[in-house]
A and B are shown apart, each in its own frame.
Chain A
Amino acid sequence: MFVEGQGEHLAPLIWMRRFMGQYIVRRLLQSIIVIFGVTLLSFLTLHLAGDPTYFYVSERASEEEINETRIKLGFDKPLPVQYLNFLGNLARGDLGMSIRSRKPAIELVMERLPATLELTFFAMLISIVVAIPIGIIAATRRGTAADGGIMLMAMFGQSMPSFWLGIMLIIFVGLQLKWLPISGHVAVIQPFMEGNIAEGFGNLPEAIRFLIMPGVTIGLFSLSRNARLVRSSMLEVLSQDYVVTARSKGLRERVIIMRHAFRNALIPIVTMLGLEFGFLLSGVVVTETVFSWPGVGRLVTNAITQRDIPVVQASVVVFAVLFIIINLLVDIIYAQLDPRIRLR
């Protein structure tokens, strides 16, 4: 409770508490449907591609041995029964055991998730930290050689397939120039999670060297897209009346750009970040393979080719949950940045 006139500035906070809770609950309920949908889709896709039993028998196995293996692995049961069993277990937080490694599938995913997050966040960092200044430069110097050069590079960045870019980086930066390691990984998040703070910090310089090439490979497309987005967003804002007013008041150009224009230009970029995260996560599948990065992307690729269905399902659930959380956070930040926007 606050005295009229004294606590008016707290009104938005009270509103946020009231509506944010409802909003989050609603979004979490929606996420159950999303998870149900993606697991059903991946389950059906894997099974429609044929009987997974053949991936777990010797190429010389007899029909009898194949049948025995089918029963051992539970693939003899009707598909609806298999899926309902999976859902029942999922409700209890049990995503099943990996057929290949005989470990809980969720454990395998969580073991590799830190490596994937390191790569994804690093790529995201590159794509934001570089995209924003070059986008601003292109917008404020519209029509100049700098603008043209930046936009040309952005076009190249969006046109290059990440697989090809990765191989080129390996050949030129890793093999010819010997500036960076060709492949592999040094853990950063994992030691922190295990409480080895000193090891985590100690690994950091080495880890960055391993991160640069795969990070650029994944992040270049996003970087290019974000640079173009920042440029167009800035151009739009710079033509608004309040910017003209600020200029007429004699404010310095840097203040106009950073304080008045950039903050408003940031709104569409923040909206993109949630989608960006999903895009980068999907990008790791190829990049992790090229750079021998031990993340979820490779785990799920191998699981698909080996029809290790519990691992595929666990990966799908974890990716979906991550995507939902990130987008929820983005929505909340979005509302904070622009008071006109209300979460409903």
Chain B
Amino acid sequence: MNATRLRLILLISALSLLVAVMPVLAQTPDENTLIIGQSVDVGALDPASVNSRAEANIFFHVFGTLFEIGDDGVLRPYLATEYAISEDGKEWTFTLNEGLTCHDGEALTAEDVAYSFERAADPANAFTGNTAGFALPAIGYQGMRVDGDLQVTVLTDRYQTPNLRLALISEVYIHCKDSYSALSLEEAGQNPIGSGPYRFVEWVPDDHITLEAVEGYTLRPTNFQTQIWRVIPEASTRVAELIAGNVDVIANVPPDQIEAVNASGTAQVQAVAGTRRIYVGFQFGENFADAPGYEALQKTEVRVALQYAIDVPTICQTLLGTECERASSMVNPPNNNPNLEPYPYDPARAEELLDAAGYPRGENGVRFETVLMGPRGRYLNDANVVQAIGQYLSDIGVQTTVDIRDWADYRQLISPKEVGPMFFLGTGGGTWDALYDMADLSGPDAGTNYTNWNNQEWFTRWDSLADIRDLDQERTVINEMLEIFYNDPPWLLLYFQPDFYGVSNRLNWSARRDEWIVIYNATLK
């Protein structure tokens, strides 16, 4: 065999290998499999430690809750059939469905529900995140009482409006005592034993989680036999996988790629007005007393004037890729005050009000200077929106310096309230109760009162809510409070963040407003 022939054979072999390698991968999910692409992986699979929306989405399919928050904000029975509230409003007794079991076959009774709450609250377990760090403290959790096989009572230290409390209780994932007490915390974080419509099959870290429908589960539908939750961190890659038909649903489609998805013929983008309130906070904390613009921003007239300076619909259209309506309060519709109209974009009116407030333009055209802080990489196109707001304010003579930080750094300034004199932020809201959204301002010193706003009219009414049992009367007070907020705004009201979901054309599924991906009810077209 001469050298030329040998070379030819080698070349043909190499090409054959290449051809073998090249064929298209048939990754398209079959009719029994649903694939969802999320940007982040779970940290652990422990139902008591929910640290991100990505985790909550998966847990919701593996674990049942006592009630379920519907996409319309209505709370519906789930593992529990009903509840009763004690006269003082501090004890909530739930009645469970009969014949419930966990995925390992263990019967799920009142004792297991009590255990689920107690385990999450146990300081020895040192859980962080939503259940232990927010939901249980927010209801004033005191403990649990087992009243029978199917009756269990949540003990709290105060009355709370029913919808709000029920929604918070519905964020606790129920699991079985015998199964979990036999596991170490590390084991519990790797092998969840659920009580929901799908059982855990496999977790390949940073790659995917596979769930399988529980046979005979009657409380919720299981229209697909298998759910695969893939981790695809890069937005462009998620979009490419969706267009290629390799995934059925993705979250956070970048606005600049919406057109590409809609033109692909394989998927469409669903845009929903999310529940996250996006706003600019005015800082009242005295640690900012020397900051530029602080003094001016203490005046109600100035803060009202600035509301007229921002063209929110244009920001939405140009920077967020969708139409949106400006927020008229901190509360999500339909729970907001219907009598309040969003501030219109009227820069001339803003200038008039600033003149009247004692801040006319100087010779250089500047009324006063200030700083607007904002994050990069947390909210939809956040850095660009912050830049645009800074420019709108500068246009009416409020010379605004924009200070943008990476989210990881910015996050650490928010809770200690070290952001100001103006700062851009988005805080999660809900569809089920106005008070959930208003709880940001539950007290002058509340951890989430990032502005340190201290309007006594607001806080007196907030305190009065604890004694009001009549829901109509409660609604009246809420409307009054929202009017106070509107007229003495601690926030420069912007919009409810639009969320973009890419959905395969083969699927019947509607995205929710509250950032949850609840997909057990999806069907094939």
Contact = CB atoms under 8 A, between A and B. Distances in A.
A225 to B, nearest CB: 24
Contacts of A305: 408
Nearest to A290: B234
Contact of A58 (B46, B133, B205): B133
Contacts of A289: 233-234
Contacts of A63: 415, 445, 447
B236 A179 contact: no
B129 A294 contact: no
B234 A292 contact: yes
A307 B128 CA distance: 14
A332 B44 CA distance: 43
Nearest to B417: A63
B415 A57 contact: yes
Given A65-B133, A102-B49, A298-B233, 9 more contacts: A56-B51, A57-B133, A66-B415, A180-B22, A184-B27, A289-B233, A290-B237, A292-B233, A295-B206
A335 interface: no
Given A292-B231, A305-B408, A184 B207 contact: yes
Nearest to A98: B43
A62 B137 CA distance: 9
Given A58-B134, A62-B446, A175-B243, A112 B206 contact: yes
A259 interface: no
Contacts of B483: none
A59 B22 CA distance: 47
A49 interface: yes
Interface string B132-168: 0110011000000000000000000000000000000
B20 A205 contact: yes
What range describes how many residues of B lie at the interface? 35 or more
B46 A102 contact: yes
Nearest to B135: A58
Contacts of B415: 54, 57, 59, 61, 63, 66
B40 interface: yes
Contacts of B446: 62
A102 B439 contact: no
Contacts of B49: 102
B394 interface: no
Contacts of B445: 63
B183 to A, nearest CB: 12
Nearest to B407: A305
A179 B412 contact: no
A26 interface: no
A102 B44 contact: yes
Closest 6 CB pairs of A and B: A100-B43, A50-B412, A58-B134, A294-B206, A62-B447, A56-B128
B189 interface: yes
Interface string B318-329: 000000000000
A184 B233 CA distance: 11
B129 A101 contact: no
A321 interface: no
Contacts of A98: 43
A207 B376 CA distance: 36
A299 B204 CA distance: 13
B201 to A, nearest CB: 17
Nearest to A58: B134
A140 interface: no
A247 interface: no
Nearest to B440: A60
A181 interface: yes
Nearest to B3: A254
A210 to B, nearest CB: 9
Contacts of A183: 232, 237, 240-241
B412 A49 contact: yes
Contacts of B411: 54-55
A4 B415 CA distance: 80
A101 B44 contact: yes
Contacts of B440: 60
A199 B128 CA distance: 39
Given A61-B134, A102-B189, A174-B240, A108 B409 contact: no
B448 interface: yes
Contacts of B240: 170-171, 174-175, 182-183
User: Of B190, B232, B243, which is in contact with the most chain A CB atoms at under 10 Å from its CB?
Assistant: B232
A256 interface: no
Contact of B204 (A290, A294, A302): A294
Given A60-B448, A101-B189, A171-B240, A294 B205 contact: yes
B427 to A, nearest CB: 6
Contacts of A72: 123, 126, 128
B6 interface: no
Interface in A173-204: 174-175, 178-185
User: Of B185, B230, B233, which is in contact with the most chain A CB atoms at under 10 Å from its CB?
Assistant: B233
A260 interface: no
A325 interface: no
Contacts of B126: 72-73
A253 interface: no
A263 interface: no
B41 A302 contact: yes
B188 to A, nearest CB: 9
A54 B244 contact: no
Interface string A68-79: 110011000000
A291 B447 contact: no
A167 interface: yes
B129 A179 contact: no
Interface string B406-423: 001101111110000000
Contacts of B134: 58, 60-61, 65
B24 interface: yes
B329 to A, nearest CB: 18
Interface in B320-372: none
A88 B119 CA distance: 32
Contact of B129 (A56, A66, A307): A56
B471 interface: no
Contacts of B227: none
A182 B237 contact: yes
A103 interface: yes
B1 interface: no
B207 A292 contact: yes
7 contacts: A56-B51, A56-B129, A58-B130, A73-B126, A102-B189, A182-B237, A294-B231
Nearest to A50: B412
Given A49-B412, A50-B409, A302-B41, A209 B448 contact: no
A302 B40 contact: yes
B21 interface: yes
Contacts of A180: 22, 25
Nearest to B46: A102
A73 B127 CA distance: 10
Contacts of B243: 175
A111 B203 CA distance: 12
